[in-house]
Chains A and B, each alone.
Chain A
Amino acid sequence: QKEVEQDPGPLSVPEGAIVSLNCTYSNSAFQYFMWYRQYSRKGPELLMYTYSSGNKEDGRFTAQVDKSSKYISLFIRDSQPSDSATYLCAMSPYSGAGSYQLTFGKGTKLSVIP
C-alpha cells in the first residue's frame, strides 16, 4: 500500500461548483497535512496546512483532517477558472528530526470551466 493515495483525476467542474479533493494515508506518524497548488510550468505553492485533526478555513478554501480515518480533504467553494491547477496533498511528521520529510500524493488536476 502506498503511503499517500490521491486520485489523479483529471477533474473538470463548471465555474461556481464546490470542489472536493481527497487523500488517504497509512502512516500514523503524520501530524502536519498540507495542500499545495501547482500551476502549469510552476513550482508548488503552499495553499493551506493543518496540524493534527480538525478543520481550517481560508476564504473559499477549507481543509479537513480526519486522523481516525487517515483521510484529508480540501474543499473549494465557488470555484473559479483561476483555480485550475494541480492540487498536491503532502504530509510530514511532527516537528523535529525528520519533520522536513514531506510525503506527497500524485496530485489531482482540476479544470474549472467558465
Chain B
Amino acid sequence: ETGVTQTPRHLVMGMTNKKSLKCEQHLGHNAMYWYKQSAKKPLELMFVYNFKEQTENNSVPSRFSPECPNSSHLFLHLHTLQPEDSALYLCASSERLSSSGYEQFFGPGTRLTVL
C-alpha cells in the first residue's frame, strides 16, 4: 500500500449504530487530519493530530470521537449520528504540523450515509 488509505470506502449506518473509520498513512508523516466534505460545502477541517497528540478540534460534536494510536494510524469513532452527518470523510497527512497546506496528502475518503 502506498500513500494514504482509508477503510471502509463506503458505510451505511443507522442513527443508533456505532462504527469506526480507519486511516493509515504509509508516508512516514507525523501529522494527520480528518476532514468532512458535504455536498455543496467546502471541505471542513475536523481534527488535527501531531505526533499522536490532538492539537485541534474544530468544534466538532462529541458524537465524533477521534483516536490516534500512533503516527501512522488515525480512527474516527462514530455513534448516534444524525442524517446531516452523511458526507465524505477524508483523512490527510503531512510530514510535520508546520508544513504548509500544500504538503498535505489526502486519502480516497469514506462515503458515509446515515439513515
Contact = CB atoms under 8 A, between A and B. Distances in A.
Interface of A: 4, 8, 32, 34, 36, 41-46, 49, 88, 90-92, 94-97, 99-107
Contacts of B97: 100
Contacts of A105: 42
A90 B104 CA distance: 12
Nearest to A2: B42
A30 B94 CA distance: 19
Nearest to B50: A100
Nearest to A8: B40
Given A95-B100, A103-B42, A43 B33 contact: no
B104 A106 contact: no
Given A43-B109, A45-B106, A100 B99 contact: yes
B31 interface: yes
Contacts of A95: 98-100
A42 B110 CA distance: 9
A96 B104 contact: no
A44 B106 contact: yes
Given A43-B90, A43-B106, A43-B107, A88 B43 contact: yes
Given A41-B108, A43-B107, A45-B106, A100 B101 contact: yes
A46, A100, A105: most-surrounded residue (chain B CB, <10 A) = A100
Contacts of A101: 45, 101
A7 B104 CA distance: 24
Contacts of B109: 42-43
Contacts of B107: 43
